[in-house]
Amino acid sequence: MVERDTVNLTDQQQLVRDAIRDICADFDAAYWREKDAQGEYPQEFVDALADGGWFGALLPEEHGGAGMGTDEVVVMLEEIAASGGGFSAAQAVHGAIYNSVPLVKYGSEELKADLLPEVARGETSIQAFGLTEPNAGSDSTSIQTSAELDGDEYVVNGQKIWISRVDASDYLVLMARTTPREEVEKRTRGLSMLLVDLEDAYEQGGLEIEKIDKTASNFVHSYELFFEDLRVPAENLIGEEGRGFYQMLDGLNEERLAIAAECVGLGEAAIEAGVSYANDREVFGGPIGANQAIQHPLAEAHAHVQAAKGMVYGAASDADDDADAKAVGARANMAKYLAAEAAFDAADAAVQTHGGFGVAREYDVERYFREARLTRLVPITQQLALNYIGENVLGLPRSY
């Protein structure tokens, strides 16, 4: 086993790590391989976490949650990915932890009292977040889905794309325009956050979904959503009307650190697989790992993965106390950028180490590689992360 406990952990982080390792030990590589091949959501794994109250990680204790913070969640998600579940296993549950955060911060007392204890107990899931649209990708303020107030209900019309885990969720946190872009002073205003009860939406006939056929993260499904006169009770508005964009940004940096941790875990899984094969596989009378052509790419990637890990953990331990959102944002974007690059290099080296077997399902590295490629695209592309660093950290002129 490659040593990967390279960061000093608090007592609580250690317990989180050990407990998650316990759970993940029951879901081996074959489990994830099969889920990926079948494109089947890992419900058993998700249930095991839900039963243990893990989706209440960030929820306050008065609502039945664990009242933990970013520093514990990064451990949890890194461990899930590193266990062999990869980026996809972490993504299968990522939304369950983060989509309730705006509800905690901005939701009405009624919504919170109704939903948060159920989420903390794992009985209700808020796994889906509806932002991206066909005509508005990273340019979020250009979204066209509208929600118009009619009496005591919002009427939603529009289309969303690349919305994940809709099939595994009871609720969708929906971003919609409540005031047209041309009528607001700033483009970041006029957006609102609505909590959509998915079962009710299907029953009304106000929402249709279509699964997107894709080749990475196969067991975490993504959808196109079509809203037609969907009626959402006005009390399901999260926070203030028109302030949805700002509410969404609040907490985004912490979530980005969690995604960076998922990349680190994926990189570690790839390094473990590569090193193990390099030690075992014998060609020309010795293990192929004796060759520096095999060693160096693995060593280089390992160094990058562990460097990214150091940055993720350092930023995570400061994130919740650090009042300066810009400083957290800078570190979160740099950490995510580095972690995704490192995971990609690690997966690539692991595939190359395996030679022709690198594309055989049974060695798992091809799955890691597909996922590593994805980490350079989501939740934002590497280029957008660089834009952020250029503009917000280095003070260079905005390019777009």
Among the residue ranges 14-22, 285-293, 351-359, 384-392, the one whose residues contact another protein (CB under 8 A): 14-22
Of the candidate residues 27, 54, 171, 245, the single one contacting another protein (CB under 8 A): 54
Q: CA-CA distances (angstroms) from residue 246 to 6, 149, 156, 258? A: 36, 20, 20, 20
Assigned token pair, 162 = 């690349």
Q: What angle do CA 133, 395, 316 make, to 5 degrees?
A: 70
Calculate the alpha carbon distances from 59 to 96, 192, 224, 371 in Å. Answer: 11, 22, 29, 29
Nearest-approach distance from CB 57 to another protein, in angstroms: 6
61 binds another protein (CB under 8 A): yes
27 binds another protein (CB under 8 A): no
Please tell me whether residue 19 binds another protein under the rule CB under 8 A.
Answer: yes
Of 8-16, 36-44, 125-133, 182-190, the segment contacting another protein by CB under 8 A is 8-16
As beta bridge partners, residue 224 has: 210
- DSSP lists the bridge partners of residue 297 as none
Among 67, 69, 287, 390, binds another protein (CB under 8 A): 67
Q: Residue 276 interacts with another protein (CB under 8 A)?
A: no
* Nearer of residues 23 and 172 to another protein, judged by Cβ: 23
In three-state form (DSSP H/G/I as H, E/B as E, the rest C), the secondary structure along 183-226 is: HCCCCCCCEEEEEEEHHHHHHHCCEEEEECCCCCCCCCCEEEEE
DSSP string, 10-60: -HHHHHHHHHHHHHHTTS-HHHHHHHHHHT---HHHHHHHHHTTGGGTTS-
- Nearest approach in angstroms of CB 11 to another protein is 6
Stretch of 53-61, 86-94, 203-211, 241-249 lying at the interface with another protein (CB under 8 A)? 53-61
Structure tokens at 400: 């777009």
CA 57 to chain centre: 15
Pairing of the two strands 222-233 and 153-164: antiparallel
Work out how close the CB of 285 gets to another protein at its nearest, in angstroms, rounded to a whole number: 21
We find the least distance from the C-beta atom of residue 353 to another protein, in angstroms, to be: 20
Work out which of 56, 206, 297, 329 binds another protein, going by CB under 8 A: 56
How far CA 186 is from CA of 106, 133, 142, 145, 189, in Å, comes to: 21, 20, 12, 18, 6
Q: Is 1 in the site for another protein (CB under 8 A)?
A: yes
C-alpha 154/C-alpha 156 separation (Å) is: 6
Quote the least distance from Cβ 201 to another protein, whole Å: 30
Using CB under 8 A as the binding rule, whether residue 14 contacts another protein is answered as yes
- Which residue, 23 or 237, has its beta carbon nearer to another protein? 23
Least separation in angstroms between residue 259's CB and another protein is: 20
- Residue 365: CB minimum distance to another protein, A: 22
User: Which distant-in-sequence residues (6+ apart) come within 8 Å of 241 by Cβ?
Assistant: 178, 192
Out of 2, 29, 41, 53, the residue judged to bind another protein by CB under 8 A: 53
Complex with another protein: residue 66 or 209, whichever CB lies closer: 66
Question: Per rule CB under 8 A, is residue 68 in the interface with another protein?
Answer: yes
Which C-beta is closer to another protein: that of 97 or that of 334?
97
Q: Is 23 in the site for another protein (CB under 8 A)?
A: yes
3-state SS class at 380 = coil
Q: Residue 48 Cβ, how far from another protein at the closest point, in Å?
A: 7
- Chain position carrying tokens 């580095």: 338
| Cα–Cα distances in angstroms (integers) from residue 270 to residues 209, 263, 343, 362, in the given order | 34, 11, 8, 14
**Is position 80 an interface residue for another protein (rule: CB under 8 A)?**
no
Residues that bind another protein (CB under 8 A): 1, 11-12, 14-16, 18-19, 22-23, 48, 51-54, 56-57, 61, 66-68
